[in-house]
């Protein structure tokens, strides 16, 4: 069905909190495996964020379609004392385990907000429960990074000029796989590419790289280092000019000649230095030579440089983007909202003011105006009629365990996100949010919630 | 040699910034592959941290011993336009690539400070350069998390009581592999175990788990949910009692009977709630039933609960520990410090005040007093004589590409760290650092640095 899908890098089946498996065994032994619906959503927006960029769905689906437990894994589990009273039938069940459920989700690159289900799973509760940890880990991380990267790219282009942002953060990401996933999520949200070669090969992302300070330091002089590099990469020479003295570095770059493509500045006052360097290049007739800057950048520093008119052509951004430094976790949760017990729908909800969970299988309806701009979202029930002028955000991805969705290539996901971003009015995408995008519940959903709450109160008063 | 070593989970060879490979090709084509020494260190301590817990070395060595480039990977690289002028000989070289160098490092679980080399690589510069990205990604992340987890565990035991901290953060770690590595690093730094089953199986870490709110919500009543769980896990029942009302939950737990092991509270004012719950349990004669708490905890919240005498027996800690939320990246860097060119040692250094890099192959010497307490570290040259009363922290790990170090099992690494922590005087391990642990350079190293700086200044004045 989908050419884009890949085999997971390694067996991910035991990337699971132990309690998912004790609950699984508990449901099995109690013969209590009702069809259940869980929804994945974020209760509150992370600090400073006004929208989320949905990411990680493809890796979730690759996991689900490949999810099974090997003999070794089952042997390990059986030996855990906690499982000592579990019957052999459960282990037989686990040995044959496959995901047979249904998944609806917002496509990657969709713009989403707090409280909106990003993904909805309906399956026998054992299947729906076991997958929780992986789903959260993958969607939380990629959505976190995509949402951060979108801000960085926005800042780089905040004067309307199409400056590139390159993701350079592999060395500071949370381990090797995080570097790979961060490269993917950043590209999806508008970065031009990454320094991470594996991300290039695995996801088809453009890869970028220049040279490090060590290159310059390894040669007797900076000029010799530049010459040695240019000899091997004559058509793609970007010279790092701040190892010793930036202005001298710029003059050495000029000496290499007009074939060089760019220079990179990785330290110092980037506004001042980029201006000096631009002047040196221009005076030598190298107007076409680009200036790339890097060095602990974030959206705020970049917006300031752009607003000051710094003559910078592209940004290399690492640490702060790939760790989402100012808000380094996304609090996505996965909540039971509905069960089918003996043919009856049983809604599940939580009524506490801070941690309310709304019941029922949901859909998100987005209203657009005549220009296609996003106006408002309504969180409704799946059975809600689509209100006029709205379109539904959750689409079917897996049905009866089978893929029913054609994953687009990653460049198309990026295009889709950039179109969505265009459709989101300016006032909802400031770096510091001023006005939240309006999200409300449908009448049907509010009524259901209130009705269940009323029943709960009545039950309590009877006790 | 070392039974502990494992195959990497997946081919990690292309977890590399493109510029490592362009530099590699550049060195190759310039026939410039001198023996070079790089050192990995942190320039400044992360905010709030007074010591680092070294972690990630084992995975680095597994990577180095398995590092090679497959035909597919080379085909991908050759097709990149940047490499168009690179000769076929370089690709032949890459096809046969193995790491033949030397690695010295601080063992995992060692306590380290800013400016101290955690790891030192000596190899032909192409080999030493290519491995930079992976080494930084792995050491930066695991050291970051171990250093955070050490604080959390310290806080939980700040009154001298040996309370367990369990790592519960998989769903908020930066992707699946980060969840695995965070579990490892947290355990190494003193956590009792993890909820991550794969970390249990792969690293032999004890695994813990109870049940989620969804378990309780899936049954018609809380009491039915508790009974259903207890039936399957009679000897390891820990009941989550805050799905609806905590006190009522505690009373339902009492109804299950004295065989239960514990209750968990995941929300609310944990001091107040733990006291109420303790009273309910005690009044029912369930003094032996433990109270576990969780819910967005960190070292500060835990220290406060402990100081207030909250009747809490163990802590489940997730998000803030596995993302090191208050300092979510570690700025480890990897710098060229020495080369051997035609039999001559050529020191490499940087003299800028903020970003100085000291030259030469280094060793760290730690002074202990008669009680074995750490007194001071001296960063010296490898050729420095070990000062009396000091011991060297960097030990040989790989020589001529061969492993010469016996990796201890992870529980022994944890013991080693806990012993080190005991040896670190109290004043250097406050949650908010007051006095930095003293680290200075040896006379030999300072002299070398000043001499090179002098030469540099003379060169500049001649220009």
Convert the pLDDT of each residue in B110-166 to its tens digit. 999 999 999 999 999 999 999 999 999 999 999 999 999 999 999 999 999 999 999
Same-domain check for residues A178 and A234: yes
Question: pLDDT band for position B463 (50/70/90)?
Answer: low
Domain-located, residue A5: no
**Among the three residues B322, B353, B387, which one is the final residue of a domain in this structure?**
B322
Q: What is the pLDDT of residue B200?
A: 98
The predicted model gives A51-77 an average pLDDT of 98
Residue B11 domain flag: no
Same domain, B122 and B150: no
Chain A residue with the nearest C-alpha to that of B13: A198
Residue B3: per-residue pLDDT: 85
CA torsion sign, B252 to B253 to B255 to B256? positive
Pick from A27, A176, A355: CB nearest B137:
A176
Judge whether A207 is closer than 8 Å to chain B, CB to CB.
Answer: yes
Q: Are residues B216 and B114 in the same domain?
A: no
For A321-366, the pLDDT digits (tens) are 999 999 999 999 999 999 999 999 999 998 876 778 999 999 999 9
Nearest-neighbour CA in chain B from A79: distance (Å):
11
Instruction: Give the pLDDT mean for A56-81.
Output: 98
Q: Are residues A162 and A302 in the same domain?
A: yes
Domain harbouring B171, CATH code: 3.20.20.70
Same domain? For A398 and A282 the reply is: no
How far apart (Å, rounded) are the C-alpha atoms in residues B196 and B179?
7
Using CA coordinates, name the residue in chain B closest to A129: B214
Asked if residue A48 belongs to a domain, the reply is yes
Structural domain includes residue B150:
yes
Q: Examine the domain organization and report whether A188 and A220 are in the same domain.
A: yes
At B49-86, the pLDDT tens digits run: 999 999 999 999 999 999 999 999 999 999 999 999 99
What residue has token string 């008119």? A309
8 Å CB contact of A125 and B217 = no
- Looking at the structure, do residues B157 and B73 belong to the same domain, yes or no? no
Contacts of A173 in chain B (CB under 8 A): 137, 141, 174
Mean pLDDT of A123-130: 98
Domain annotation covers residue A23 = yes
pLDDT for A397 equals 98
Residues B92 and B121 in one domain: yes
| Beta carbons of A76 and B179 less than 8 Å apart | no
Residue A106's alpha-carbon distances to A306, A334, A368, in angstroms, are: 33, 15, 17
Pick from B295, B322, B349: which residue ends a domain? B322
CATH code of the domain containing A385: 3.20.140.10
Tell me: pLDDT of B254 over 90.
yes
Q: Answer yes or no: is pLDDT of B187 > 80.
A: yes
Where residue A182 falls among pLDDT bands split at 50, 70, 90? Answer: very high
Contact B38/A at CB under 8 A:
yes
Task: Please give the average per-residue pLDDT across A220-247, as a whole number.
Answer: 96
Task: Answer whether residue B297 shows pLDDT above 70.
Answer: yes
Residue B364: partners with Cβ closer than 8 Å, 6 or more residues away: B106, B112, B116, B117, B377, B378, B379, B380, B392, B393, B394
What is the average pLDDT across B289-302?
97
Secondary structure letter of residue B311 according to DSSP:
-
Q: Tell me, yes or no, whether B1 lies in a domain.
A: no
For residues B309 and B403, membership in a common domain is answered with: no
User: What's the complex ipTM?
Assistant: 0.97
* Whether residue A204 is found in the same domain as residue A241: yes
Contact predicate A85/B234, CB 8 Å: yes
Instruction: Please indicate if any CB of chain B lies within 8 Å of the CB of A129.
Output: yes
Domain boundary, last residue among A322, A344, A367? A322
Domain count, chain B: 2
Q: Is the residue at B140 inside a domain?
A: no
Quick: pLDDT tens for A385-423.
Answer: 999 999 999 999 999 999 999 999 999 999 999 999 999
Residue A265, pLDDT > 60, answer yes
Of B215, B218, B339, Cβ closest to residue A218: B339
Cα A445 to its chain centre, rounded Å, is: 28
Say yes or no: A26 and A58 in one domain.
yes
Lowest-pLDDT choice from A357-361, B18-22, B251-255, B352-356: B352-356
Residue B286 in domain: yes
- Domain of A210 in residue numbering reads as 146-322
Question: Residue B1 has what pLDDT?
Answer: 52
Question: Which pLDDT does position A77 carry in this prediction?
Answer: 98
Nearest residue on chain A to B193, alpha-carbon basis: A18
pLDDT value, residue B111: 98
Show the CA angle centred on residue B255, arms to residues B252 and B256, nearest 5°. 95
State whether residue A26 sits within 8 Å of chain B by CB.
yes
Q: What is this structure's pTM?
A: 0.98
State the DSSP H helix or E strand holding residue A440, giving kind and residue range, or none if neither: strand A439-441
Contacts of B339 in chain A (CB under 8 A): 218
Over residues B383-393, the mean pLDDT reads 96
Which chain B residue has its CA at the smallest distance from A38's CA?
B214
- Residues B90, B160, single domain; the answer is no
- How much is the average pLDDT of A208-229? 95
- Give the separation between CA A110 and CA A93, rounded to whole angstroms: 37
Query: Quick one: pLDDT band at residue B457, thresholds 50, 70, 90?
Result: confident
Q: How far apart are CA A193 and CA A203, in angstroms?
A: 11
Cα maximum dimension of chain A? 88
Distance (Å) from the alpha carbon of B391 to chain A's nearest alpha carbon: 31
A212·B171 Cβ contact <8 A: no
Q: Does B328 contact A331 at a Cβ distance shorter than 8 Å? A: no
- Interface membership of B125 toward A (CB under 8 Å): yes
């Amino acid at each position: 069905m989908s050419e884009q899908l890949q085999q997971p890098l390694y067996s991910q089946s035991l990337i699971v909190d132990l309690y998912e498996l004790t609950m699984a065994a508990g449901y099995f032994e109690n013969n209590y495996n009702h069809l259940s619906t869980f929804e994945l959503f974020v209760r509150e927006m992370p600090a400073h964020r006004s929208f989320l960029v949905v990411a990680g769905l493809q890796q979730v689906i690759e996991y689900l379609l490949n999810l099974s437990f090997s003999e070794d894994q089952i042997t390990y589990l059986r030996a855990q004392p906690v499982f000592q009273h579990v019957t052999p039938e459960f282990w037989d069940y686990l040995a044959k385990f496959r995901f047979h459920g249904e998944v609806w989700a917002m496509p990657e690159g969709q713009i989403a907000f707090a409280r909106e289900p990003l993904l909805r799973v309906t399956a026998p509760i054992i299947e729906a429960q076991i997958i929780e940890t992986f789903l959260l880990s993958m969607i939380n991380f990629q959505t976190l990074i995509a949402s951060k990267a979108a801000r960085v790219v926005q800042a780089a282009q905040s004067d309307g000029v199409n400056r590139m942002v390159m993701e350079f953060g592999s060395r500071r990401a949370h381990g090797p796989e995080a570097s790979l996933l961060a490269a993917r999520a950043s590209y999806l949200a508008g970065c031009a590419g990454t320094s991470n070669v594996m991300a290039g090969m695995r996801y088809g992302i453009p890869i970028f790289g220049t040279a490090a300070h060590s290159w310059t330091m390894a040669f007797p002089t900076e000029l010799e280092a530049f010459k040695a590099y240019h000899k091997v990469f004559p058509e793609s020479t970007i010279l790092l000019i701040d190892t010793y003295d930036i202005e001298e570095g710029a003059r050495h770059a000029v000496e290499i000649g007009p074939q060089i493509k760019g220079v990179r500045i990785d330290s110092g006052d980037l506004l001042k230095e980029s201006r000096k360097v631009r002047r040196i290049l221009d005076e030598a007739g190298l107007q076409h030579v680009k200036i790339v800057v890097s060095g602990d950048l974030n959206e705020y520093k970049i917006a300031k440089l752009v607003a000051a008119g710094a003559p910078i052509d592209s940004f290399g951004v690492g640490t702060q983007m790939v760790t989402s430094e100012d808000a380094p976790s996304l609090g996505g949760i996965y909540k039971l909202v509905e069960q089918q017990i003996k043919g009856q729908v049983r809604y599940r909800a939580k009524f506490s003011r801070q941690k309310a969970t709304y019941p029922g299988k949901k859909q998100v309806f987005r209203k657009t105006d005549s220009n296609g701009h996003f106006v408002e979202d309504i969180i409704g029930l799946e059975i809600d009629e689509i209100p006029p002028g709205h379109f539904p955000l959750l689409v079917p991805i897996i049905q009866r365990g089978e893929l029913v969705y054609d994953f687009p290539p990653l460049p198309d996901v990026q295009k889709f996100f950039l179109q969505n971003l265009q459709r989101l009015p300016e006032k909802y995408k400031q770096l510091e949010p001023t006005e939240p995008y309006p999200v409300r519940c449908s009448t049907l959903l509010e009524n259901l919630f209130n009705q269940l709450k009323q029943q709960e109160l009545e039950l309590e008063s009877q006790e």
